[in-house]
Structure 1
Amino acid sequence: MKNFFKLLVSIFALFLFTACSSKNPPLQTVQKVELNKYLGSWYEIARYEHFFEKDCKNVTANYSMMDKETIKVINRCTKIQTNEKKEAMGRAYAIDESNSKLKVSFFRPFYGDYWVLMLDENYKYAVVGTPSREYLWILARTSKLDEKIKNEILQKLPTLGFETSKLIWTIQE
């Protein structure tokens, strides 16, 4: 038990050190997200790789209200090699009145950041990331994104501190 406590303290110290030593400027989000417009289905257009979506295609996310303050999140994907369908259910909540900064959990009690960085005025696409720049998603209401919009997003990402070379373009069939 003593070793476990030491491990937890070490992990917390490492997290605190890396969070405080970020080379990136503070990340700006959109001014306002109207949750009722944001709810519904989104297709993943691109992402930074991470273990929970590794080797996935046909990735979608669906958002709906669980109650007045909690958003139900259902992420789905199909494994590329096996065609096995995967689903993860989580929950999210806004941390301020703008609704552009959310906390999301698939493994409670642990929550991660979900910040809306770009959002089409008609809610046709969104770019979501984390202040650490470790996670990034480009989402759209359709499985394909217009090339002009895609290029505009790709031009803006470096100004926010995100490397476009790290993007994995999601297979949508």
Structure 2
Amino acid sequence: MRRFACAVVALALLVLSGCSGEPPNPNPRASVPLTTVPVDLPRYMGRWYIIANIPYFAERDFVGSYAQWVLRPDGKIDDSYYAHKGAFDAPLKHYQFLDTPVPGSNGGEWSVQVFWPVRFKQLTLYVDPDYRYTILGYPGKNLGWIFSRDPVMSDDTYREMLAKLDAMGYDTSRFKRVPQTPEQIGMPGFASPGDKQ
């Protein structure tokens, strides 16, 4: 847990610095600010599989990753992250966070507390009417995630999610799919354990 916490602190510094080492975003809408969508929080809770993300070191080499969100009586959200490191037969790792919906955001913006006093801003950029798919992001568009209620997403749906991210100004070429089954490791478009990220 300490190693993950250190990685998250480094991530915070990276996010705050604007990730200056990254190539410029070629999307012509790159400078357009991200807009959150309203979220029905009780309906939004439960398990979400991480289908794709912009790879970064804190989630490097993780496969089969998913989040479990539980709405607490005080309105905050217990945010549990689960994943296997390197291979599906590796032990299931678990990291715990505490999220707070930002007042006035209609549930679309969360303040994520990794540990006191480190917090991140998490934006819900899209959720489909049936609450089967969602897209999360951060203000600088250097981080982003595609989530699904099911561990496997069709190629057509994945392309639809990428099209939405492109319309928001993301550089969609940076997204990699996260293996959710052993067969997906090494497939084109999927992150592979051991890749440099």
Same fold (TM over 0.5): yes
Q: Output the TM-score relative to the length of structure 2.
A: 0.73
Which residue does 2:133 correspond to in 1? 125
Q: How does 1:8-19 map to 2 (within 5 A)?
A: 15=16, 18=18
The one-letter code sitting in structure 2 at the alignment partner of 1:75 is Y
Query: Which digits, 9 at most, give the CA deviation of each residue in 1:43-74, with x for residues without a partner?
Result: 01001112221100000100002332210000
Q: Does 1:88 find its partner at 2:105?
A: no
Equivalents in 1 of 2:162, 2:169: separation in Å? 12
The one-letter code sitting in structure 2 at the alignment partner of 1:65 is L
Structure 1 gaps, min length 5: 1-10
Q: Output the TM-score relative to the length of structure 1.
A: 0.82
Structure 2 gaps, min length 5: 1-11, 20-29, 182-197
> How far did residue 78 of structure 1 move?
0.1
CA RMSD of aligned residues (A): 2.4
> How far did residue 18 of structure 1 move?
4.8
Which residue does 1:4 correspond to in 2? none
Q: How does 1:22-41 map to 2 (within 5 A)?
A: 24-30=31-37, 32-41=38-47
The one-letter code sitting in structure 2 at the alignment partner of 1:130 is Y
Equivalents in 1 of 2:147, 2:96: separation in Å? 18
Which residue does 2:164 correspond to in 1? 156
Aligned length: 158
Which residue does 1:60 correspond to in 2? 66
Equivalents in 2 of 1:58, 1:26: separation in Å? 31
Query: Which digits, 9 at most, give the CA deviation of each residue in 1:141-166, with x for residues without a partner?
Result: 00111333211111121221211111
The structure with the largest helix share of the pair is 1
- Alpha-carbon contact 1:129-1:136 (below 8 Å) kept: yes
Task: Name the SS of the counterpart of 1:61 in structure 2.
Answer: strand
Which is higher, the Rg of structure 1 or of structure 2? Answer: 1
Task: Name the SS of the counterpart of 1:142 in structure 2.
Answer: coil
The more displaced of 116-125 and 64-73 is 64-73
Task: Name the SS of the counterpart of 2:145 in structure 1.
Answer: strand
The structure with the largest strand share of the pair is 1
Which residue does 1:69 correspond to in 2? 75
Which residue does 1:165 correspond to in 2? 173
The one-letter code sitting in structure 2 at the alignment partner of 1:55 is D
Q: 2:55 aligns with which of 49, 52, 65?
A: 49
Equivalents in 2 of 1:44, 1:169: separation in Å? 8
Equivalents in 2 of 1:140, 1:127: separation in Å? 9
